[in-house]
Structure 1
């Protein structure tokens, strides 16, 4: 998993509330178990019309936000069904951080397991960052995981809380497999002892 330390990038404003996982990645794209390739279908029904042409008004289709790495969203982002394809699609598009006042629990947990930082901030802070995001490439946000701050275009820093274990995992690029492999020496020692104690197993 890719480490998350400090990210300075374009933020896309998505003020809609209750953006659910079916909006993030519609159900017809859930057949794959590959984590790559889903970025082109991120927000598919909002990005494309029935003929597959881009909808010009959608934020990620506009020149200022095509390279967005951050989303500033309305309340309750990631609600709906518990599909891990939602963070896969965000990550494959290039989104590394989503900022909102609240997230659905399962989506929130899945973000951390896939190298995306979900940041919870008070409404006034989200409103200020949403205004920054509306300026597109002219106003980049900086997300500093070590310092636990999001800094707006005017230099105002907003502090956020994060579980220390999740912070450690993101800073070091550790998913569940990576965490297990940190204990490889202990696992190898156990297997060696078991091989001696129970050679018939």
Structure 2
């Protein structure tokens, strides 16, 4: 499968930057296309820096909700391509190495949102909770988990407005240089 890069651009700091990308799913094959654009042409010159910033939802938390509720849902979604793809952020550097990039490193950033939330943050969290609630309806979860996710989906503001509300997500910036030869 070819790599599809979205929103990459040349900057003064990096030779190639990808904000979001679709990477090949683990298939046992070497990810030989990593570092190439959609057309198969190199993203960067030999020795150039390639950077990919990707989310990893494995640390998603919506406190004061019990974090195990989220973990059980993520476990039930492990066969879902979209959701498992959103847990790949920490694996990108391994794919860089497998593709032959050199000097590979990763920088992880934990983002946390607490009260008071800005309107855009509220909307983002509300949309996430409604989305997750909908996914929960389609999965084999305990009756108690289904009830909790249903309640969250019907009234996300109840959780969001809690004075102890805290939302966490993680982003990983993977860096590597293209081989010079």
TM-score (norm 1): 0.22
Which structure's residues are more often helix, by fraction? 1
Higher relative contact order (CA 8 A, sep 6+): 2
TM-score (norm 2): 0.24
